Structure formats: C-alpha cells, structure tokens
Amino acid sequence: MKIAFYDTKPYDKIWFEPLAKEYDYKIKYFDYKLNSDTAVLSKGYDAVCVFVNDTVDKETIDILCENGVKIIALRCAGYNNVDLKAAKGRIKIVRVPAYSPAAVAEHAAALLLTVNRKTHRAYIRTKDSNFNINGLLGVDLKGKTAGIIGTGQIGRMFVDICRGFHMDVVAYDPYPAKDSDIEYVSLDRLFEKSDIISLHCPLTKETHHIINSDSIEKMRDNVIIINTSRGRLIDSAALIDGLKSKKIGGAGLDVYEEESEYFFEDFSNEIIKDDELARLLSFPNVVMTSHQGFFTREAMQAIAMVTIENLWSFDNGKSLENEVCYKQ
C-alpha cells in the first residue's frame, strides 16, 4: 500500500515510519495540509492519512477519488472536518476512536490547575527573580462543583480526576453512560450549578457554540471554562465578552475556533492577524495550548498503531471496525 501522509510533523515520522517498514507500506510525507489545492499530490497513492486541521470537503474528496485513492485514514478521533455525505459509497473513512483518554483528561486537569493557581504567571515571575505572590490567589478545588459536558471515555476519566480532588461532579450528555454513578442534569442546570465547566463532547450541529452569550449569562460568577475538545464548541466573541466583564474567572483552552491557520506552527516572529485569538492570548487568566492534549508517548504510539491497522484491515479485505459512515 502507498500512503500519502498530509500535515506531517517531525514526531509523526518517529511513530509511523517503524510501523510502515514492519507492514511493508510506503509512506510519502507531505508538510502540506490536505485540501482541494493539495489533493492533487495524492495521485498514484492508495490511501491518504490526515489530521484534525486537514480539509476533507466534497471538492477534496472528488479529487481524491479521481486520483484513485480508496481510503482516508484519520489519525485522530474527531471527523467533523470530513464531508461524510460526499464520501458515502465512494471512499472509505476510518479513524482512531480512542487512543489515550488519559492523555486528554490529564491535560484538561493541567489547564484547570494552571488557570486556578496561576502557575504560568508564577513561573515567569520567579524566572525573573520576582518572588511576589500578589495577584496569584486561587481557590480550593475541594468542595467545588465541576460540570462535565460529554461523558465518553475522556469525560468519564476527567470525572474521576475531579473526584480525586474531592469535587462534586454533575454532567450533561444526551446519551448518558450506562451503569455509571454520574449525576446527570440538564444543560441549564449544569451552567447554573458549576464552578468549573469542562468540555469533552464532539463537535456537531447541536454542540456548535454550546458555550455562547446566553449560556454564559446562566453561569456562576467567576466560572472557569476548560476546553480540550473542539474549538467551535465555544463562541470566541462571547468568551471574550465574559472574560472582560469578569463573569468568567478564567479559561484553559487547548483548542480554538479558527486554529487551523495557526496551531502546530511557529508564528513567534510574526503578528497574529486573528483579532480574537490575539485578544484571548492577552488575558492573564487565559491559558492556551496548541492542541497538545493528545500528545503523550502512549497516545502517539496508539494513534500510529491503530491507523496502520485500519489500513491493513482495508488492504486485506477485513471488516473496518473503526469506519465512519454517513448517517442521514
């Protein structure tokens, strides 16, 4: 099998290349993201491998099909960047549904602790030999209420972490986890009751901008919002307004609405032209990371293994356990 690997980073090769040799697959690594302009590079390949910020729309899929590509392998869990309707009956779509729930849940906890105890600011101060702790006041998490939106594997693991801090936990999910002891409440009740709100749900039509000006108005004062799922779960303009008014006490963001242009790249010598991104980065009570929640040794190993096994199953006519299909 010949695989066109898009949006390649140095760490991708570390994990994928040994498996490619083991399976006798030939991978061509492209730095470019997949879109309708770069899809032409897939000619002569059996498969393409893509990541979260590649654009797999109808136009791109049309070109892939014309080039003879038979399968698109997502090396991630989310697939909101894929036009499943355009792919139906023409090209297979597979993904990595669960690579390391612990990686993302633990990163959400890291963001929460950093926002609350302001360790990012303390680190900069002490590096500059400034040992003043004024302005670094946090709160005890013990006894606070964490509202978890989405209780898949990652969400349930974050529930366990919050309970480890002796927090009360409530959750919202239209498909509650069976046989769990999680207290499920309505979305409005979660907004009203929670001191911390953490997002662990997929991006769908229903969850797009689930955090917006109306929902923020229902929240407790000084609420902390954590997002390690998808950027468009939050209306960035509404989040900025909430931070400016001090309704929101802080935010920990591993994702951003328009992240595809910036995340995973180095813009340290350039001016950020996205005004909302630049504004969020300016807040002292906002901690933003570049979609690194998944980035652990265990997760990268699992992503590479499952991706290659997905391709092997297709190549050998086996059932595709991790196929994503269009549903009306």
| Domain ranges (residues) in the chain | 2-99+296-315, 101-288
Catalytic residue check, 90: no
Catalytic residue check, 189: no
Per annotation, catalytic residue among 291, 297, 309, 323: 291
Per annotation, catalytic residue among 200, 230, 232, 257: 230
The CATH number of the structural domain formed by 2-99+296-315 is: 3.40.50.720
Q: What is the mean pLDDT of residues 224-242?
A: 98
Q: What is the mean pLDDT of the chain?
A: 96
pLDDT at 295: 95
Q: What is the mean pLDDT of residues 122-141?
A: 97
- Pairwise CA distance, residues 209 & 68, whole Å: 37
Q: Do 2-99+296-315 and 101-288 have matching folds?
A: yes
pLDDT at 328: 64
| Exposed / middle / buried, residue 95 (Cβ in 10 Å: 0-12, 13-18, 19+) | buried
Which pTM value belongs to this model?
Answer: 0.91
pLDDT at 326: 84
Per annotation, catalytic residue among 259, 261, 309, 321: 259
Catalytic residue check, 230: yes
H-assigned helices in 128-235:
153-164, 187-193, 213-218
The CATH number of the structural domain formed by 101-288 is: 3.40.50.720
Residue 327 pLDDT grade (very low, low, confident, very high; cuts 50, 70, 90):
confident
Residue 219 pLDDT grade (very low, low, confident, very high; cuts 50, 70, 90):
very high
H-assigned helices in 74-179:
84-87, 101-117, 119-127, 153-164
